[in-house]
Amino acid sequence: MTDLRRALCTLLAIAAVAPLPAGAGPQRDAEDQRPSLSLRATPPVGFAPLRVRLSVDVRGGADDHADFYCPSIEWEWGDGTSSQSSSDCEPYVAGKSTIQRRWSAEHVFPQEGGYRVVFRIKQKTRQIAAANATVQVRSGLRGEGE
C-alpha cells in the first residue's frame, strides 16, 4: 500500500468514528426546519346547510420557532366571510417560549357550492404560513315533503 493510500484510509477511518459536533446531525436539522401546516375539514362533503369542523396542525420544526410564536390567525371561509384572532402573549424567549400546535373552528356553509377555506398564520401584516382545504356543499333535501 502506498503512503498516500495509507494516509487516505487513515483519514477515512478517523472521519467514520469521529463524533459530530454538539448541535449537528439529523436531530438539529429537524429542529432548524420551518414548521408546516396541515388543514383538515370534517366532513369535507355534505348537504346544505353544512356544519364543518376545521382543524389545523403545526407539524415539524422546533417548539420555540420564533415566527410561529404568538401569531395572529385568520380563517378565510371561501363564502365571502372571514374570521381573525390574536392573543396577548409574554415576550418571546428562545428555548423557553413554545408555539401553539393546533387550532380548530366550526363554520356553517348555508348554500350549495365549492368552498376553498384558507387558514393563515401572521406576524403583524406578514404572512408566516398558510394551508387550505376544500369543502363541497350539495343542495339540501331538508324541507322537502315536510
- Quick count: other Cβ atoms within 10 Å of Cβ 137? 21
Q: pLDDT of the chain along its 146 residues, tens only?
A: 555 555 444 444 443 344 444 444 444 454 568 999 999 999 999 999 999 999 999 999 999 999 999 999 999 999 999 999 999 999 999 999 999 999 999 999 999 999 999 999 999 999 999 999 999 999 976 554 44
Q: What is the side-by-side order of every strand in the sheet holding 102-109?
A: 36-42, 50-59, 102-109
Q: In this predicted structure, what is the pLDDT of residue 33?
A: 87
Is residue 6 in a domain?
no
Q: In this predicted structure, what is the pLDDT of residue 140?
A: 75
- Quick count: other Cβ atoms within 10 Å of Cβ 81? 9
Q: Give the domain range for residue 61.
A: 32-138
Q: In this predicted structure, what is the pLDDT of residue 141?
A: 66
Name the domain count of the chain.
1
Is residue 112 in a domain?
yes
For the purposes of burial, counting CB atoms within 10 Å of the CB of 59, is it exposed (0-12), middle (13-18) or buried (19 or more)?
exposed
Q: What is the pTM of this model?
A: 0.74
Q: What is the CATH number of the domain that holds 90?
A: 2.60.40.10
Is residue 80 in a domain?
yes
Q: In this predicted structure, what is the pLDDT of residue 123?
A: 96
Distance of CA 73 to the CA centre of its chain: 12
